[in-house]
Amino acid sequence: MKNIFLFSFFTFIYCNSYSQINFSQPDYIKTVQLKPAVSNLYAPIIKLGETIQLSFDDLNADEHTYTYKIEHCDYDWSVSNLSETEFINGYAEDRIRDYENSFNTLQPYTNYTVSIPNENTTLKISGNYIISVLNEAEEVVFKRSFVVYEPKVTVGVAIYRSRDISTINSKQSVEFTINNSNFRINNPNAEIFPVILQNNNWQTAITGLKPQFFRGTQLLYKYNKETSFFGGNEFLYFDSKSIRNSSLNIARAELGEDLYHTYLYTNEERIDKPYTLFPDVNGNFIVRNLSSNHPNTDADYSWVHFSLSCLENLAGKDVYVSGNFNNWQLNNSNKLTYNTSLGLYEGEILLKQGFYNFQYVTKNKVGEISNHDVDGSFYETENEYTVLIYYKGFGNRYTQVIGAGFGNSEKINN
């Protein structure tokens, strides 16, 4: 069939921040994990009918009674107008019954876990969801977001080097195709809303794309510049599974007045260094304890000390330690301060024992986030990309997620 080019009157929206899902949480809530109940999967994106699990620690360790509440959301993460019975079988709000106190740890805590679906709650439709945790006074303690999709269309994803000569060595571009042979789409320009995520980080999501070509039952998105991300660099990491001892990337561990302190080796900027490949988990973390098979309750907490030596001019920018350990959000808890006497950016974060990926990012005064000011950006960097396809047909009351595609820059195309 003849290709039809859609002209440049379409708009492109680069989402530097999804304010609707920039959720805060109190200091006593730690190690929040929302992920599929499958090993080696970390993104809170599931197929309808699959299980997603929420777990968190309460450092008050008082076996508090918590309740979860699930809300269905539109494409922009605003709460939809659907009634609970339209998106849930059972109860949208119920008590979290699975909890257990920590054992043999310096930091006492209570670990809570709940899985969706369960015998009281089953999701009926696809879309964006927010799960809130409420206390006994029905006050929201914290929130997390997740996506449920139905495979009504297939999504092919390919990663390319940038075609722009000025960024050919630093950016990666995402091209994708939607095959809707078994799903009717009447007006793709008005009904289809793709979202592209790099390493499942909504802070840098790209939206607002329209199909460039039609080919039979396929919608083709062959953009380059508009769908490009800085490749960044491989994530840094440390492993505190043995909390009393130093290990790879940990200079020393010391017992303080109450808890252990884990001091990492000072990281140096990598912006002017050649790219070096080493395996990572793309910003995620895994709770584990070398001396126990039950890390959820037996892993302890320590103050992890970060330090960064950087000669780049970062005037007017704040520096953060970023990763999935705090839902990719940039706030005072993971912000570094500059020590003028040592010439280092420094910070400390209370973290549970485990293997952690992290990176240093900057944010300027207008809120633009950069993953390459400190560590540079390379087209060879291994990153995971996810393309979510949202659909809202004419007259529909809610936005569905009708497909998800996944790609990795490990197989990058020139």
Measured CA to CA in angstroms, residue 28 lies from 80, 103, 257, 320, 374 at distances of 30, 18, 19, 21, 31
Q: What is the tens place of the pLDDT at every residue in 353-373?
A: 999 999 999 999 999 999 999
The pLDDT score that the predictor gives to residue 20 is 57
What sign has the CA pseudo-torsion 6, 11, 14, 15?
A: negative
Name the nearest CA neighbour of 273 among 311, 322, 321, 228: 311
DSSP for 93-146, please give it.
Answer: EEE--EEEE--S-SS--EEEEEEES-SSEEE-S-EEEEEEEE-TT--EEEEEEE
Instruction: Give yes or no on whether 154-231+381-411 and 239-370 have one common fold.
Output: yes
CATH code for the part of the protein at 21-149:
2.60.40.10
Does 163 score more than 60 pLDDT?
A: yes
Looking at every residue in the chain, the average pLDDT score rounds to 92
The pLDDT score that the predictor gives to residue 4 is 41
Mapped onto helix, strand or coil, the DSSP state of residue 170 is coil
Compare 10 and 339 and report the one with higher pLDDT. Answer: 339
Banded pLDDT at 18 (limits 50, 70, 90): low
The pLDDT score that the predictor gives to residue 8 is 37
The pLDDT score that the predictor gives to residue 17 is 42
Domain definitions of the chain by residue range: 21-149, 154-231+381-411, 239-370
Cis peptide before 117 (omega within 30 of 0): yes
Cα distance between residue 223 and residue 176, in whole Å: 9
Taking the CA of residue 399 as centre, how many other CA atoms within 13 Å lie in the half-sphere pointing to its CB? 22
Does 267 score more than 60 pLDDT?
A: yes
Buried b (16+ CB within 10 A) or exposed e, 247-273: eeebeebeeeeebbebbbeebebbeee
Class of domain 154-231+381-411: mainly beta
Measured CA to CA in angstroms, residue 169 lies from 229, 253, 369 at distances of 12, 39, 20
Q: What is the tens place of the pLDDT at every residue in 49-102?
A: 999 999 999 999 999 999 999 999 999 999 999 999 999 999 999 999 999 999
Whether the CB-CB separation of 68 and 131 falls below 8 Å is answered with: yes
Measured CA to CA in angstroms, residue 326 lies from 61, 170, 228, 247, 323 at distances of 20, 26, 25, 23, 6
Banded pLDDT at 414 (limits 50, 70, 90): confident
The pLDDT score that the predictor gives to residue 24 is 85
CATH code for the part of the protein at 239-370:
2.60.40
Does 3 score more than 70 pLDDT?
A: no
Whether the CB-CB separation of 141 and 336 falls below 8 Å is answered with: no
The pLDDT score that the predictor gives to residue 245 is 87
The pLDDT score that the predictor gives to residue 374 is 96
Does 13 score more than 70 pLDDT?
A: no
Does 7 score more than 90 pLDDT?
A: no
Mapped onto helix, strand or coil, the DSSP state of residue 232 is coil
Structure-block tokens of residue 233: 């660099």
The pLDDT score that the predictor gives to residue 343 is 94
Q: What is the tens place of the pLDDT at every residue in 305-337?
A: 999 999 988 999 999 999 999 999 999 999 999
Does 279 score more than 90 pLDDT?
A: no
Banded pLDDT at 12 (limits 50, 70, 90): very low
Cα distance between residue 282 and residue 305, in whole Å: 21
What average pLDDT does range 9-26 have in this prediction? 56
Cα distance between residue 66 and residue 188, in whole Å: 43
Measured CA to CA in angstroms, residue 233 lies from 56, 75, 137, 172, 382 at distances of 29, 30, 45, 12, 8
Whether the CB-CB separation of 345 and 310 falls below 8 Å is answered with: yes
Cα distance between residue 316 and residue 348, in whole Å: 22
Taking the CA of residue 359 as centre, how many other CA atoms within 13 Å lie in the half-sphere pointing to its CB? 29
Q: What is the tens place of the pLDDT at every residue in 194-216?
A: 999 999 999 899 999 999 999 98
